[in-house]
A and B are shown apart, each in its own frame.
Chain A
């Protein structure tokens, strides 16, 4: 499935995991950004990934806790970078290209690189 056709946003897109072109898990579709105007077709402008995208999806008090713990960063993934939508959203590009691996890379710096088989 691709974003050029019609799609059921809630059951076919929202909360799906995202895999980059190297098959690395790089986020969840936390929300979608739509574009359009009255009388015209509504289109998905971007997939929104990150704790900042929870704001419209949970009670305010819960979002305040999330924001305090995880920040309010949002990454926008443009539809042009989506290769396929099935049981996961597969990207044409690497996670780095769309900014989806920043936190992972930051945490990686803390992990010692020895001892593991």
Chain B
């Protein structure tokens, strides 16, 4: 194992962990419920660690990306339903990321939001065309580390650490009314969905194959999905805790990403605000790339096309056409004038419904000794996998009723 590669892998995972949905829901959850939903982030992170590790392990050992498995395990009919649902949910997520990029660039430059959405899409697409996979992953992941300013900001505002640590204990605040309880449940489900977005498994497993992982890379996979994801999740928790400390008592509702950036501006002034906005820009741009490529991976793998950005665009032509088409479709959604926060809500809602269909075939294959041999799921992966599968199914069943009952998280 190359220590430099491992360090870069961890840093990339940290910088690439947070996206527009986590920015929005972490800040709102902190403002409304204080530290009481920190545990939802911690809990969901264990889930994505478990399934991310499985996705990487299957890619390394069975040389199978997630959508090949899905087609083989679910069959053509159910596979097509899953493909369509995944494409739709990830497309909406991609549109939310592009809208987020437009908003952040609007904050930075003052130029119109829609124009900035077009500009950011063009720049992101150019980077995807020019850079090979490893560079795409590294550039956005490492520049996303500017988000560490949120962790520094939390330390600088001296939060009540006992309350922050207390937030890691699963809890439901006792003083909530029925409406607030439903809202609390909605935020819990939304955080689970935002942390465990299905595109993350598609992108991570396909990325492992892009980098030609083999059994020798299993330790890298394990360390990246544990250390990298935990540190990335701590960033999201820092945003939540700062919001609980700064926005909650002032009754500020951080419904837009710009408000979240103020968390760094309060302790560090203009420089903090700039670093926060640039970090958010890079993190969200990275997520836009991941969602767009995840869709291209999904459709290419499902139909057995040549795929991968370790190849030149013309060596995987249908894959190339697919990512260009999905990026333009996502931009078209933004250009209709759809509200970014509404897109974020739809993205988490659609994604939680798709999650069980994504993770079940992955778990079955990771546990199949015929394919995985000695690397098949052991008791810990099996236990975590089935536990989270049941929870994700329950969350999927509750998502739409909670969305309707709370009018999208409004008390």
Contacts and interface: CB of A to CB of B under 8 A. Distances in A.
B188 to A, nearest CB: 36
Interface string A79-92: 00000001110000
A103 B304 contact: no
Contacts of A87: 62-64, 371
Contacts of B317: 104, 107-108, 110-111
A40 to B, nearest CB: 28
B306 A16 contact: no
A59 B80 CA distance: 12
A25 B313 contact: no
B304 A28 contact: yes
Nearest to B309: A116
Contact of B305 (A15, A104, A117): A104
Contacts of A25: 300-301, 304-307
The dominant DSSP class at the A interface is loop
Nearest to B132: A117
B314 A58 contact: no
Nearest to A23: B63
Interface in A11-62: 14-18, 24-28, 30, 49, 54, 57-59, 62
B270 interface: no
B140 to A, nearest CB: 16
A113 B315 CA distance: 10
Contacts of A104: 305-306, 317-318
Interface residues of B, number: 33
B158 interface: no
B266 interface: no
A115 B314 CA distance: 11
B386 interface: no
Contacts of B132: 116-117
Contacts of A111: 313-314, 317, 320-321
B371 A108 contact: no
A102 to B, nearest CB: 12
B131 A117 contact: yes
B130 A117 contact: yes
Contacts of A16: 68, 72
A115 B71 CA distance: 34
Contacts of B320: 111
Interface string B130-156: 111001000000000000000000000
B76 A17 contact: no
B406 to A, nearest CB: 35
Nearest to A18: B304
Contact of B64 (A26, A88, A112, A115): A88
B24 to A, nearest CB: 34
Contacts of A112: 314
A30 B71 CA distance: 10
A15 B75 contact: yes
Interface in B305-346: 305-307, 312-315, 317-318, 320-321
A107 B318 contact: yes
A67 to B, nearest CB: 14
A2 to B, nearest CB: 16
Give the residue among A10, A17, A18, A54 with the most B Cβ atoms within 10 A.
Answer: A17
Contacts of A27: 303-304
Interface of B: 62-64, 68, 71-72, 75-77, 79-80, 129-132, 135, 300-307, 312-315, 317-318, 320-321, 371
The 8 closest A-B pairs by CB, nearest first: A28-B304, A107-B317, A27-B304, A108-B317, A111-B314, A15-B72, A87-B62, A15-B71
5 contacts: A25-B300, A26-B304, A30-B76, A103-B318, A117-B130
Given A17-B301, A25-B301, A116-B129, 9 more contacts: A10-B75, A28-B303, A86-B371, A87-B371, A88-B68, A104-B317, A111-B313, A111-B317, A116-B314
